[in-house]
A and B are shown apart, each in its own frame.
Chain A
Amino acid sequence: MKRILIVDDAATMRMYYRSILEGAGYQVDEAINGIEAMEKSLQEFFDLYIVDVNMPKQDGYSFLSELRSRDISQNPAMMISTEASANDRMRALVSGANLYLVKPIKPDQLLTNCRLLLGEVHE
Chain B
Amino acid sequence: MAFIKKQPEKVIEQCERKRERNCASFELQLSDPNPTARRWAARDLADCLDSSAALVAQLLREQNSSVREIILTTLTKLGDEVAVAGLVNCLRSEDAALRNEAIEAMKMLPDEVAPIMSQLLQDTDSDVRIFAVNVLESLQHEQVEEWLNEVIEHDAHVNVCATAVDLLGEVGTSYSWEALENLKARFPDEPYISFASDLALKRIRGS
Contact = CB atoms under 8 A, between A and B. Distances in A.
B191 A56 contact: no
Nearest to A85: B94
A110 B162 CA distance: 17
Nearest to B168: A12
B127 A10 contact: no
A104 B196 contact: no
B162 A103 contact: yes
Given A12-B169, A16-B192, A19-B195, A103 B103 contact: no
B159 A82 contact: yes
B97 to A, nearest CB: 6
A104 B162 contact: yes
A55 B96 CA distance: 9
A67 to B, nearest CB: 16
A12 B81 CA distance: 33
A83 interface: yes
B166 interface: yes
A91 B188 CA distance: 32
B196 A56 contact: no
Contacts of B165: 12
- Chain B interface bracket (under 10, 10 to 19, 20 to 34, 35 or more): 20 to 34
Interface of A: 10-13, 15-16, 19, 53-57, 59-62, 82-83, 87, 103-107
Contacts of A105: 192
B203 to A, nearest CB: 10
A11 B195 contact: no
Contacts of A59: 96-97, 100
B158 A16 contact: no
Nearest to B189: A106
Contact of B96 (A53, A57, A104): A53
A12 B196 contact: yes
Contacts of A60: 96
B193 interface: yes
A60 B170 CA distance: 24
A60 B191 CA distance: 24
A20 to B, nearest CB: 9
Nearest to B160: A82
B188 to A, nearest CB: 13
Given A61-B96, A104-B158, A12 B103 contact: no
B127 to A, nearest CB: 7
Contact of B159 (A12, A55, A62, A104): A104
B70 to A, nearest CB: 15
Contact of B166 (A13, A62, A106, A107): A13
B192 A104 contact: yes
Given A59-B100, A103-B159, A83 B193 contact: no
Listed from nearest, the 9 A-B pairs whose CB atoms lie closest are A12-B166, A82-B159, A12-B196, A59-B96, A10-B166, A56-B104, A104-B192, A16-B195, A103-B159
Nearest to B97: A59
Contacts of A83: 127
Contacts of B94: 87
Contact of B103 (A19, A53, A56): A56
